[in-house]
């Protein structure tokens, strides 16, 4: 009978230990879910800001993009499509026309909402 009492004590202790580990696991899962929610909110906020920036840049430069032969891509990259406007062949010097475009572009780009 004494042996049975020892096993009951050990099994009670193991059940208690299992409950402690279960409680720790539940708390850990709760924290992970909170962190995932925060990460999701940050990602959504970033995406909304990127989309708003894309709309703002298109609104600001919509009349000039065609004149400059430029485009604004979805990732907010601004691409000037005509290389002959940018530089002379085998030259690192900007053309006067492109310098004029940049003089108009950069101040407006930095102030764009």
Q: How far apart are CA 57 and CA 112, in angstroms?
A: 7
| CA pair distance 69, 103, nearest whole angstrom | 16
What's the number of domains the chain is made of? 1
Tell me the range of 5-9, 40-44, 71-75 where mean pLDDT is highest. Answer: 40-44
Q: Which domain holds residue 38?
A: 2-111
**pLDDT at 56 (0 to 100):** 92
pLDDT at 2 over 60: no
CA distance linking residue 72 with residue 78, whole number of Å: 5
Higher pLDDT, 81 or 46: 46
Residue 7 has pLDDT above 70, yes or no: no
């Amino acid at each position: 009978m004494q042996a049975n009492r020892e096993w009951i004590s050990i099994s009670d202790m193991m059940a208690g230990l299992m409950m402690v580990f279960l409680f720790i696991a539940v708390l850990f899962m709760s924290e992970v879910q909170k962190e995932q929610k925060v990460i999701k909110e940050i990602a959504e906020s970033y995406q909304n800001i990127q989309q708003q920036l894309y709309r703002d840049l298109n609104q600001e430069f919509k009349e000039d993009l065609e004149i400059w032969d430029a485009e604004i891509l979805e990732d907010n990259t601004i691409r000037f499509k005509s290389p002959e406007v940018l530089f002379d062949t085998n030259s690192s010097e900007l053309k006067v026309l492109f310098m004029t475009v940049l003089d108009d572009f950069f101040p407006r780009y930095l102030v764009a909402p």
